[in-house]
Amino acid sequence: MAESVHADVLEHILIRLDVKLLIRCKRVCKSWHSLITSPGFINRHLNRSYNEDRYNNKLDSRRISLPDKSSSHGRYNGYYSLVGSSNGLVCIISCLVSCKLLVCNPLTREVRQLKLPSLIGLPLLCRGFGYDISKDDYIVVMGVEKGKNQTCFEVLSLKSNVWRVVGEVKYTFMTKAGILCNGALHWIVKDQNNKKLVISYDLSKEEFKEIPQPENARYESTHSSYLGTVKECLCIISRNDYFPVVHDVWLMKKYNVKESWEMLSRHHDMKRNIVHYLGLPKDESFFLHYVESWFSEDSSYWRFTVFVKSLVSPHKSAPGGSNLGIR
């Protein structure tokens, strides 16, 4: 039966399947395996996955997070930290007996260990992970403390697996996890005058710049404010410094355009988020045993990194490989 289906028809059928079913389909025959593992098919399936979520009338975004340490969802013998996610790949710092930097696809269960940055012994102030469309590559970003209000940035590309310093900035980081939006990572910082700013690091241009904040009497950035994404737009979630409740959510409808900031109504018609949690076993032989999810309307989940179901492999980004992506 596998040989009797025309190749074009077969691809139209397979591309509609979930990742777990596609993994099983790879075992049918050599031609199916060749098709499903081809860069073109992986990219088209990734685009379809994004579009299915984007045009889902009930869903704002699919997001990913580590479970709480008190949760029974995972086992903790040390420290884990989520660096970020892009195109279905998830980057994690794992510190058990020793520290490891890992990139994996939690659905295909592929894991790749990366080199640690040369400045790993210094305090880690910020981090991030994303896709560089100009180089068709995935980038890990680490910011470490070099002095008072001085942060040194190192980046690693998955294709090279080599760290290099890209610059230093004189900010105090108020948020650690870089929020990926429009090809850049974003953080809330304080400058040397104690002024709160939103800065970005463009993954393609390798440039830092300040992102304009809302000019509105009702806007206030507090020590408890954080960044997130809503409807693929950057947003600032303002919380009270003394009570863990959300005051306002500001949405930048057009990227890097000050006039496009808009405060969401408390009774806005917002779609829900699916939050996926990663399971963590003791031995790290494979630390993503399952992904579970539920719908949530809590705006605190907007700061979680966006996740998409994909076949993208962390190994195909190694030198000599080919890894197509869109985010």
Does any domain span residue 217? Answer: yes
CA distances for 135 relative to 43, 158, 161, 287, angstroms: 15, 11, 14, 29
At CA 234, angle to CA 222 and CA 101, rounded to 5?
90
How many whole angstroms separate alpha carbon 275 and alpha carbon 186?
21
d(CA 254, CA 260): 6
- Name the token pair of 289: 């045993």
Nearest to 230 by CA among 252, 247, 255: 252
Nearest Cα neighbor of 107 from 293, 231, 272 is: 293
Q: What is the dihedral of CA 63, 64, 69, 71, to 10 degrees?
A: 70
Q: How many domains does the chain have?
A: 2
Nearest to 189 by CA among 210, 202, 174: 174
Which domain covers residue 233, as residue numbers? 212-270
Q: Are strands 207-211 and 184-190 parallel, antiparallel or unpaired?
A: unpaired
Residue 325 is predicted with a pLDDT of 45
Q: Which amino acid is at 260?
A: S
Written as one string, the DSSP assignment of 7-50 is HHHHHHHHTTS-HHHHHHHTTS-HHHHHHHTSHHHHHHHHHHHH
Residue 107, domain member (yes or no):
no
Residue that finishes a domain, picked among 234, 255, 270:
270
Contacts of residue 213, defined as CB under 8 A and 6 or more positions apart, other chains included, come to: 197, 198, 219, 221, 236, 258, 261
φ, ψ at 248 (rounded to 5°): -140, 155
Which of these three, 270, 288, 315, is where a domain ends? 270
294 occurs within a structural domain: no
Sheet holding 163-169, edge to edge: 124-132, 137-147, 150-157, 163-169
315 within domain boundaries: no
The verdict on residue 36 lying in a domain is yes
Per-residue tens of pLDDT for the chain, all 327 residues: 445 667 788 889 999 999 999 999 999 999 999 999 999 999 999 999 999 998 888 888 899 888 765 434 444 445 778 999 999 999 998 876 678 899 989 888 888 999 998 876 677 889 999 999 999 999 999 999 887 778 999 999 999 999 999 999 999 999 999 999 999 999 999 998 889 999 999 999 999 999 999 988 788 777 788 999 988 899 998 876 565 566 688 999 999 999 999 988 765 666 788 888 877 655 554 444 445 566 666 677 788 899 999 999 999 754 444 444 445
Nearest-angstrom CA–CA distance, 147 and 150? 5
Strand partners, 157: 139
The answer to whether position 34 is within a domain reads yes
Close Cβ partners of 319 (under 8 Å, ≥ 6 residues apart): 159, 160, 161
**Best CA proximity match to 236, nearest among 244, 153, 253:** 253
> So what's the pLDDT on residue 4?
62
Instruction: Tell whether 232 is covered by a domain.
Output: yes
Question: Rounded CA gap, 266 and 249, in Å?
Answer: 9
Query: Residue 226: inside a domain, yes or no?
Result: yes
